[in-house]
Every structure is written in C-alpha cells, then in structure tokens.
C-alpha cells in the first residue's frame, strides 16, 4: 500500500470548496475521471456508512473516521458493494486493502483554500488515481472559483 498526495490552491473560501467537493451535482462533475456518473451517498456520521459508487451502483463502502466541516474529512474504506447493493467486507481481495484511508484537508490561506487530498492504495491503482485527482481537483478549482 502506498500513500498518494495531491494539492491545489483555490481562490475561494473553505466552505465554498467544501460544498463543491461534497454537493451531489458538483461531486459527480469532479469525480468523472474516476468513473463517469460517480456518486457518493453518506449519512455524514463518524462510524456511519458512506458509499462511493459508479453509475451502475457498484463501488466502495466506507465510513467517516473523522470530520470537521469545512476543514477536513477522513474516510476509511471498508469494502466493495455490488450492483445489487451487497457489501463485501470479508473476502481475501478486500482484506488486502480494507482500512485504507482517503483524506481531504482544507487549509485557509487568507481567503484562498489549499486543498490537500491523500489516499492509500495498491500500486496498481496509482495511474488511475493520479489521473482522477489531478484532473478532478482542477475541476474543483474551476467550479469553486467560477460558480
């Protein structure tokens, strides 16, 4: 498992960047590079359920490890979910990466926001995540600065 980090400075306040990251309409826009039609469904509770799924409804089941809106949120990935909504948190494949973190830290720079994203992944996913985050965070920047 390796930790990948991404940063971008956005000319918008923390709350606006937070809202672009997590509002359903804009979430789907900036995450399109991970998978078209991506959605996140969350109860926004520490220890609750959060689903990161594609247009077909398959993807990851996670939980919020900690949250301090609009400064940071840390997700802990627990397993996979299939099209029928069945969760897999126990298979050998899932156990190899279960517990991996995905962090979003927003830092106020006198009215601008430094957005720092960090994700733990297997090396085989590095190129996919590099593309997703590099292109996706540019979309977050554009939406936050121009909406």
Place of tokens 């956005």: 10
Query: What average pLDDT does this structure show over 115-133?
Result: 90
**What pLDDT was estimated at residue 85?**
85
Q: Which residues contact 146 (CB under 8 A, 6 or more apart)?
A: none
Rounded to whole angstroms, how far apart are CA atoms 33 and 14?
A: 23
Residue pLDDT, tens place only, 56-112: 889 999 999 999 999 999 999 999 999 888 999 999 988 888 889 999 999 999 999
Residue pLDDT, tens place only, 10-49: 999 999 999 999 999 999 999 999 888 899 999 999 999 9
The domains found in the chain, sorted by start residue, are 2-146 (3.30.530.20)
Terminal-to-terminal C-alpha distance of the chain: 37
């Amino acid at each position: 498992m390796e930790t990948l980090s991404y940063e971008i400075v956005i000319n918008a306040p923390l709350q606006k960047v937070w809202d672009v990251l997590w509002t359903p309409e804009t979430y789907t826009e900036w995450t399109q590079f991970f998978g078209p039609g991506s959605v996140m469904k969350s109860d926004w509770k520490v220890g609750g359920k959060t689903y990161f799924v594609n247009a077909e409804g398959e993807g990851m089941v996670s939980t919020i490890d900690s949250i301090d809106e609009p400064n940071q949120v840390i997700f802990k990935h627990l397993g996979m979910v299939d099209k029928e909504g069945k969760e897999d948190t126990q298979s050998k494949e899932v156990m190899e990466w279960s517990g991996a973190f995905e962090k979003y830290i927003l830092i106020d720079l006198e009215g601008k926001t430094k957005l720092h994203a960090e994700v733990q992944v297997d090396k085989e996913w590095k190129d996919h995540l590099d593309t997703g985050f590099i292109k996706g965070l540019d979309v977050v920047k554009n939406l936050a600065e121009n909406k």
